[in-house]
């Protein structure tokens, strides 16, 4: 898979990325069926296959349970991997908790640097909640992240948004934006268009509507060819699905 530049500062990333929610969290998620977390051996096998297939980006977050720590242990020492993580949300005792204060953002980045065993985090996104627009307008959370970028602790700064209004603000203010796009939700198209116009990166989350869309191959073929999309972050803990997803992306990009 040919790598693509993610926003003005990079890094170069594969058009298909590995979503890490199911690596570390099985409660309070919206997948259609329950599942067991992969064992260390299974996760190592999945990551090795992803690397062989040309995937170089993993998405994780402090809110994904043990996901960050497991990626830190299994992948972070390998320069092949670009890792995106987030700030602002944690998942404690079965509940999401949000804190977008500058002190919490700085503390979260410090914990992620330790868990991911990296001095410099490739990508850090604000893990925005339902009041995404207000948090971006208030400005302190993003300012804290941008300061960490200026200090050299973060490569690229972005926001994972929910509303179009917040997505458009994030396009203006950040290096990249993470938005939902799938067969049942294409409401974020204006964000994609704006990002493309300004050369900002776009990561797609929930490409299969968290597993509720039956045709994963068609969803990926559509998304990786969509102008403005840098990389599609698809969640899987199945090596068979990972191989299928990769084949769908390679075929779609060859046809283009």
Ligand X SMILES: NC(=O)c1ccc[n+]([C@@H]2O[C@H](COP(=O)([O-])OP(=O)(O)OC[C@H]3O[C@@H](n4cnc5c(N)ncnc54)[C@H](OP(=O)(O)O)[C@@H]3O)[C@@H](O)[C@H]2O)c1
Phi-psi region of 62 (alpha: psi -120 to 50; beta: other; left: phi over 0): alpha
- Give 34 or 152: the residue with its C-beta nearer to ligand X: 34
- Give 70 or 127: the residue with its C-beta nearer to ligand X: 127
Tell me which residues in 32-71 interact with ligand X (CB under 6 A). 59
- Residue 160, both tokens: 């994972």
- Number of helices (H) and strands (E) in the chain: give both, helices first: 9, 12
* Secondary structure class of 124 (helix, strand, coil): strand
Regarding 99 and contact with ligand X (CB under 6 A), the answer is no
**Distance of alpha carbon 184 from alpha carbon 205, whole angstroms:** 13
Which region, judged by CB under 6 A, interacts with ligand X, from 71-79, 105-113, 144-152, 233-241?
Answer: 233-241
- Give 60 or 155: the residue with its C-beta nearer to ligand X: 60
Kind of pairing between the strands at 121-127 and 154-160? parallel
Candidates 74, 108, 235, 252; binder of ligand X (CB under 6 A) is 235
Candidates 14, 21, 56, 156; binder of ligand X (CB under 6 A) is 21
Candidates 7, 11, 15, 19; binder of ligand X (CB under 6 A) is 19
Q: How many residues bind ligand X (CB under 6 A)?
A: 26
Which region, judged by CB under 6 A, interacts with ligand X, from 91-99, 140-148, 166-174, 240-248?
Answer: 240-248
Radius of gyration (Cα) for the chain, nearest Å?
Answer: 17
Tell me which residues in 104-133 interact with ligand X (CB under 6 A). 127
- Residue 159, both tokens: 């926001």
Which region, judged by CB under 6 A, interacts with ligand X, from 19-27, 95-103, 106-114, 166-174?
Answer: 19-27
Is the torsion defined by CA of 109, 117, 63, 82 positive or negative?
Answer: positive
Tell me which residues in 152-211 interact with ligand X (CB under 6 A). 160, 178, 205-211
Euclidean distance between the first and the last CA atom of the chain, given in angstroms as a whole number: 13
Residue the block writes with tokens 């050299």: 152
Q: How many CA atoms lie within 13 A of 180 on its CB side?
A: 16
- Give 92 or 151: the residue with its C-beta nearer to ligand X: 92
Binding site for ligand X (CB under 6 A): 19-22, 31, 59, 127, 160, 178, 205-211, 216, 233-238, 241, 244-245
């Amino acid at each position: 898979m040919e790598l693509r530049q993610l926003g003005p500062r990079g890094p170069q990333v594969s058009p298909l990325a590995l979503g890490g929610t199911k690596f570390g969290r099985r409660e309070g998620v919206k997948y259609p069926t329950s599942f067991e977390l992969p064992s260390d051996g299974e996760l190592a096998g999945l990551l090795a296959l992803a690397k062989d297939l040309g995937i170089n980006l993993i998405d994780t977050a402090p809110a994904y349970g043990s996901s960050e720590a497991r990626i830190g242990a299994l992948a972070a020492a390998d320069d092949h991997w670009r890792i995106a993580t987030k700030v602002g949300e944690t998942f404690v005792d079965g509940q999401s908790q949000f804190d977008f204060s500058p002190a919490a953002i700085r503390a979260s980045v410090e914990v992620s640097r330790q868990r991911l065993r990296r001095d410099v985090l490739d990508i850090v996104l604000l893990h925005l909640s339902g009041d995404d627009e207000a948090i971006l307008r208030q400005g302190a959370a993003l300012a804290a992240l941008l300061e960490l970028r200026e200090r050299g602790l973060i490569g690229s700064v972005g926001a994972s948004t929910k509303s179009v209004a917040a997505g458009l603000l994030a396009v203006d203010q950040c290096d990249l934006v993470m938005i939902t796009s799938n067969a049942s939700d294409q409401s974020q198209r204006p964000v994609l268009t704006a990002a493309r116009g300004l050369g900002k990166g776009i990561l797609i989350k929930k490409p299969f509507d968290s597993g509720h869309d039956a045709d994963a191959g068609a969803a990926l073929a559509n998304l990786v060819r969509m102008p403005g999309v840098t990389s599609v972050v698809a969640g899987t803990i199945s090596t068979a699905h990972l191989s299928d997803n990769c084949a769908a992306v390679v075929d779609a990009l060859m046809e283009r």
